[in-house]
Amino acid sequence: MTVSLLFVSSHHLFSFTQPKVKSINIYQTVTVFSNNFLTDNIVLKVNDIFMEEKLQSDFDRIRNLYFRDCYYLAYVDVDSVIFSDDSSWVDLYFLINPGPQITLGKIEISGNTLFTTDYIKSKFYAAANSCLDQNLLESDIDNLIKEYENNGYPFASASINSIMINNETNSPTLSVVIEIDEGEKIKIESIRVEGNNETKTEVIARETRVQYGEIYDAEKVKKIPQRLNRLKLFTSVEEPQIFLLPDTLLNHKQRVRAAGLVIKVVEGNANTFDGVIGYLPGSASEKGYFTGLVDVGMRNLFGTGRKLSVRWAREERNSQEIGIRYLEPWLFNYPVNLGGSFFQRQQDTTYVRRVSELKPEFMFTENLTISGLFNQENIISSSVVAATNVNSSGTISAGIEIAYDTRDDPYNPTTGIFYKTDYRVGRKKIYSLQKSLSVQKVGIDIELFFETFRKEVFAIGLHGRDLRKKEIELSDMFRFGGSSTLRGYRENQFLGTRIFWSNLEYRFLMARRSYFFGFFDTGYYFRSNDESTNQATLSNFKYGYGVGIRMETGLGIISVSFAFGKDDSFSQAKFHFGLINDF
């Protein structure tokens, strides 16, 4: 008994219960797939409630199976639908005629002048004598358009003009015709910036690394927001847009036209001030004194991108430090920055350490920077040399630093890598002992960022320092601990000739540069033995954990964290508070 689908619909009007599928029978005029394979790939199963929507869906599923195997003319239909006498069960009979297997014969390209047809075909993954995968062919076309955009043709387009079956041979094939409209070739002759109230337009244009007269490159233009964000001057940078300059057809024969880029920016607060002052009252034997921190940063002096930072900190009565840094960008209009810094630390009554550094930075690409390091360090010891293990000395050193940065945002990255390593070598002259010693220092910093879910980021930081020198003094050692290294401990609490710390953070993004986070830090320090000073080998492992928040405000980016150190009770937890002032 053969029943039409129209009858099935009307039959259900008189049925009080929905019928179930009793059997599924498939007949193929030519066997391509086994019946078991086909029934495994459809929605309707034996004992399922019969629904016409599922039946129609199964038609499409079966057709797709045949299409993927080059049977583009496959015919799939219901041969019959047979109900039981009480209409509680139904037997389904499918009829499938696969038709001929048709492979991709040839791809024809029209409208191309920039690239040869052979070159375009060599880039396609869709190839002759294979099944036509529509998604793969569309991906090939998208990649072709991108290649045009990267070679000066931002308005290029390409589409499938026709797909025809060629029956001239015993084995039919498909012929695909792709039509290309290359559009005009574009040269960049102007850069316009909108929203820059403080920063000079030429400073922004310089940082794009796009030269006037340069052929348009979509990939290069796409990276402009990332380059400008690294200046740390803008809260947002939109992707540049093209505008055509009127009456500027530079070459009629080759259809070359002059155009410009318009870049829209929103400037942030380039100047930051962070100040915390405290006063500790004196006693009968000692006067009171001030403690605190003052950090002033100016990252855009006179709108030129020049940077100046001044920092003063006093931790206790006899310990304080001051630092000054300056950066001159794009020296003589070349991609070379020149930085200089001065740092002085008075360590209680033990010594005073002064460091001057000159740092030329060579920006080879937007991601890779190689710097030279030239350093002079002086230690002025107190008179109690034997007790302090510090001698007055002077050290001159030189080195190299390599930095690689692919982060999408320097303040709140969601993806990318930051890598930096430096090596310094020098000679240290101890004045009182008439002795000269070799000094080597190595540092490495690696930061990785992964967007796990929408607005959630997992951040990993790995950092290490190593000192190689005979007769190591306290002033030679690395200091770490506190808000920027190992949270849950005092600032610069630990000393070592070899130190390592790691920072794991899971961040929940609240705004573009604001997030809440949980963290777990680890730290290790090692001090090698020194027979000349009877200093024994010492090493230790520490960890800290807690939660924090980083918020973008009118003053800058403020970071607050609540941290526990190893074996800390709740009353021993520490608050770390600061204004982020990256130089």
Task: Considering only residues 450 and 366, tell me which one the structure prediction assigns the higher pLDDT.
Answer: 450
- The angle that helices 5-12 and 52-68 make with each other, rounded to 10 degrees, is 150
pLDDT in tens, 401-430: 999 999 988 888 999 999 999 999 999 998
Phi, psi at residue 144, to the nearest 5°?
A: -65, -45
Position 323 scores a pLDDT of: 94
Of 149 and 476, the one with more pLDDT: 149
* Confidence at 555, pLDDT banded by 50, 70, 90: low
Beta 20-28 vs 89-97: how paired, if at all? parallel
pLDDT reading at 450 higher than 70: yes
Question: The tokens of 95 are what?
Answer: 């009829």
The residue extents of the domains of the chain are 5-97, 103-181, 185-267, 271-580
- Note the pLDDT of residue 11: 44
Query: Which CATH superfamily is 103-181 part of?
Result: membrane protein fhac (3.10.20.310)
Task: Name the pLDDT band for 366 (thresholds 50, 70, 90).
Answer: confident
Predicted model pTM: 0.75
pLDDT of residue 342: 97
Residue 48 has pLDDT above 90, yes or no: no
DSSP H helices, 193-278, are 201-208, 218-222, 224-229
pLDDT digits (tens, 9 = 90+) for 59-108: 889 988 988 888 888 888 888 888 888 888 999 898 999 888 888 888 89
Q: How far apart are CA 117 and CA 179, in angstroms?
A: 12
Among the ranges given (17-26, 204-213, 322-331), the one the predictor scored with the smallest mean pLDDT: 17-26
Per-residue pLDDT of 177-196, as tens digits, reads 999 999 999 999 999 999 99
DSSP 491-558: TT-EEESEEEEEEEEEEEEEETTEEEEEEEEEEEEEE--BGGGTBPPEEEEEEEEEEEEEEE-SS-EE
- Whether 557 has a pLDDT exceeding 50, the answer reads yes
d(CA 81, CA 34): 21
Q: What are the residues whose beta carbons fall under 8 Å from the beta carbon of 64, sequence distance 6 or more? A: none
Render pLDDT for 8-45 as a digit per residue (tens, 0 to 9). 443 444 444 688 889 989 899 989 899 899 888 888 88
Q: What is the pLDDT of residues 482-519, one digit of tens each?
A: 888 999 998 888 999 999 999 999 999 998 889 999 99
The answer to whether 325 touches 309, Cβ cutoff 8 Å, is: yes
Is residue 538's pLDDT more than 50?
yes
CATH code reported for the domain at 5-97: 3.10.20.310
Whole-angstrom distance, CA of residue 582 vs CA of residue 325: 11
Torsion sign, CA atoms 154, 159, 161, 164 = positive
271-580 — its CATH code? 2.40.160.50
Convert 42-68 to b/e letters by CB count within 10 Å (16 or more is b).
bebeeeeebeeeebeebeeebbebbbe
Strand positions, DSSP E, 56-172: 75-83, 89-97, 103-110, 157-166
Q: Are 125 and 139 in contact (CB under 8 A)?
A: yes
Instruction: Give dist(CA 181, CA 162) in Å, integer.
Output: 15
Comparing 5-97 with 103-181, is the CATH topology the same?
yes
Topology of 185-267 in CATH? Ubiquitin-like (UB roll) (3.10.20)
